Chain A
């Protein structure tokens, strides 16, 4: 697959971050390493480094989001960049402006980076092909395709707990069909060398030929969780109940909800993850979500560090450039 030449500049450095697919293991590891350096910034009294001072970043959210947008905003601020928040879902495009017109308008404001969320798969790729060459694009979620910063913050969380990806068995549970998070996690896990990635869901929520991505498919939760080191739960959108994909939330929870009893199938030290926001009693029981194996809140704080790392790298900066080495 041709993949992702578009993401790298001619020296092989990250120019855009659109998908985890096709990037090298060393590049993904260096995102995690940079994030590790930035993680401490948030714990200091002065939570800022001057790496992107003078840079302007625009959050382009064509689809509403609070959590992701906020963490990108915080990440940009901690890097000392100026940030614009644009909820395009409610402004320009509803007035009939085309996507390229919106982009060119923002280019004219001399932005250096667009953080893009869009309801259509491939939107971030499309935007990356349309913008002026000095602008970097970070994909904050495009349709069902990719959510690479979410995947990397999950990888960061796994690495913190498990140290290495070798010999890891990971289960991703839930609506794989519609999940950009799952696709990005699958590619990242495979590149980082995880032993086994399993997906667990009814056939209605599994995309065709998904085995080609290097995963094992399970329709039975207990079988799929057997002996895993990491359980990644996906959010189940309520609108999935409206079509013919699932009969009810009740039945879904009975068959695919993560309860403490089910979690016993996993390794005793297995961690439980969720990209949020969680639906208690739909995909995960409250006692598991709040339990000692849950790392869900850590994921959120890691999100800021990982997004700082990706923003700095696509702008050609690394933590060492900040001049405040310890």
Chain B
């Protein structure tokens, strides 16, 4: 299949490219930019006039719910939803059921990925067996089976000794640790940020120190072990400055943030809005601004959806009895564009944190439109907008905290390996 995408504004932050040009695709690869390759004859022409052509987006954290939670969602439903917002590469955490601590689970994920044939899926291997924080998982075996990094998901590693050994071993295997910083004892069954809202609603709070103390412990161990560490889903401004300091010291650390924490705060929990029950929790406006500033200063290199589709029952209970997480994969790009429209983030930066930069963190050759790369591409109409409607979500999880929001941008086409996998009606 030979495709030409004509007349679009091509933005490729990996190559600092932003300009109107044609893009030529053959056999699943990008074969030409601007200049038509000799003898190129297209089977399909896509008119991208007045549109933006971007690399397929890279989402550093989305749960596709297989194996184990197919009553919540499936690869098929969630990869379709991802395609509709231009995402073609997804990194998924190891907290499936069973956990990604055996090669059988990795094989199953690869098989599901091939069957869906819509996105690249990069599984993270468990850092400890069963994510229990006690014994090391077979990290190198899992790496050879195709895991791209190691992580303990949202599960705590209470023993600092185990954490140290896990970091050392991951470093020996050349694996990046994807680490979610949360001190289990300080979290203490908390469900929202500890602050005025937790006090007013009488909900158990998660203090900021639950994150910063866990983060400082991990940073000291990164310094000691020299493991490459990626800190997942920062929620507080103070964590951003701790990461910045570590980066200035030359530690091999990167960080991401969930799109929810860039838009919402504890105030959005309002009167027990279960869709705002998230982990990490929504903190205050100062934290939200600190996270935005972290992106603008390059401290936070990626924004992920932290997509967690839930069945209706998971959210049908009093707040603290509901499961945490939001269904966000379809709105990752529109929510970033919303920040661009509000002049909180520049367009180029918004694209970089969704494409070239997360690809760098994963060490994959994605998030770029360079000649020779895989033809994972999305085409964006910046001028249209959509209002978020629960019922019309493609994801099987309808648990969005953005119900009723008017969001800019509409993906018109998504290409995966040179095939059109999504096209707007």
Are A and B associated in one complex? yes
A→B interface (CB under 8 Å): 1-4, 6, 21, 98-100, 118, 120-123, 125-126, 142-146, 180, 183, 207-210, 212-213
Contacting residue for A6 out of B203, B271, B321, CB 8 A: B271
8 of the cross-chain contacts (CB-CB < 8 Å) are A99-B317, A121-B202, A122-B202, A180-B202, A208-B196, A210-B199, A212-B196, A212-B199
Give the distance in Å from the alpha carbon of A220 to the alpha carbon of B335 in the complex: 49
> Are A98 and B199 in contact, CB atoms less than 8 angstroms apart?
no
> Are B271 and A121 in contact, CB atoms less than 8 angstroms apart?
no
Residue of A nearest to B316 (CB): A100
Q: How many B residues face the partner with a CB closer than 8 A?
A: 22
> Are A21 and B200 in contact, CB atoms less than 8 angstroms apart?
yes
Contacting residue for B318 out of A4, A6, A123, A210, CB 8 A: A123
Return chain B residues, CB-CB under 8 Å to A122: 201-203, 271-272, 318-320
Return chain A residues, CB-CB under 8 Å to B316: 98-100
> Are A208 and B270 in contact, CB atoms less than 8 angstroms apart?
no
Residue of B nearest to A184 (CB): B202
Contacting residue for A1 out of B202, B203, B270, B320, CB 8 A: B270
Residue of A nearest to B317 (CB): A99
B270 CB to nearest A CB, Å: 5
Residue of B nearest to A206 (CB): B199
> Are A143 and B199 in contact, CB atoms less than 8 angstroms apart?
no
> Are A208 and B198 in contact, CB atoms less than 8 angstroms apart?
yes
Give the distance in Å from the alpha carbon of A6 to the alpha carbon of B271 in the complex: 10
Give the distance in Å from the alpha carbon of A125 to the alpha carbon of B320 in the complex: 13
> What's the dominant secondary structure at chain B's contact region?
loop
| B212-240 interface code vs A (CB 8 A; 1 in, 0 out) | 00000000000000000000000000000
Known contacts A99-B317, A120-B320: A125-B271 contact under CB 8 Å? yes
Residue of A nearest to B322 (CB): A126
Give the distance in Å from the alpha carbon of A194 to the alpha carbon of B198 in the complex: 24
Residue of A nearest to B193 (CB): A208
> Are A144 and B202 in contact, CB atoms less than 8 angstroms apart?
yes
Return chain A residues, CB-CB under 8 Å to B320: 120-122, 143
Return chain A residues, CB-CB under 8 Å to B204: 144
Return chain A residues, CB-CB under 8 Å to B272: 121-122, 125-126
> Are A213 and B200 in contact, CB atoms less than 8 angstroms apart?
yes
Known contacts A2-B271, A6-B271: A208-B199 contact under CB 8 Å? yes
The 7 A-B pairs of least Cβ separation, nearest first, read A144-B202, A145-B202, A122-B272, A120-B318, A207-B199, A121-B202, A123-B318
> Is B409 positioned at the interface, with any CB of A under 8 Å from its CB?
no
B211 CB to nearest A CB, Å: 15
Return chain A residues, CB-CB under 8 Å to B270: 1-2
A210 CB to nearest B CB, Å: 5
> Is B55 positioned at the interface, with any CB of A under 8 Å from its CB?
no
> Is B194 positioned at the interface, with any CB of A under 8 Å from its CB?
yes
Return chain A residues, CB-CB under 8 Å to B207: 208
Give the distance in Å from the alpha carbon of A21 to the alpha carbon of B270 in the complex: 13
A260 CB to nearest B CB, Å: 33
| B342-366 interface code vs A (CB 8 A; 1 in, 0 out) | 0000000000000000000000000
Return chain B residues, CB-CB under 8 Å to A6: 271
Known contacts A99-B318, A126-B319, A209-B195: A121-B205 contact under CB 8 Å? no
Return chain B residues, CB-CB under 8 Å to A207: 198-199, 205
A275 CB to nearest B CB, Å: 16
B244 CB to nearest A CB, Å: 26
> Is B313 positioned at the interface, with any CB of A under 8 Å from its CB?
yes
> Are A121 and B318 in contact, CB atoms less than 8 angstroms apart?
yes
Return chain A residues, CB-CB under 8 Å to B199: 207-210, 212-213
> Are A183 and B202 in contact, CB atoms less than 8 angstroms apart?
yes
A178 CB to nearest B CB, Å: 8
Residue of B nearest to A6 (CB): B271
Residue of A nearest to B284 (CB): A209
Return chain A residues, CB-CB under 8 Å to B200: 1, 21, 183, 212-213
A188 CB to nearest B CB, Å: 14
Beyond A121-B272, A143-B318, A208-B195, 13 additional pairs, beta carbon < 8 A: A6-B271, A21-B200, A120-B321, A121-B202, A122-B271, A126-B272, A126-B317, A126-B318, A142-B318, A143-B320, A145-B202, A145-B203, A208-B205
Residue of B nearest to A122 (CB): B272
Return chain B residues, CB-CB under 8 Å to A142: 202, 318
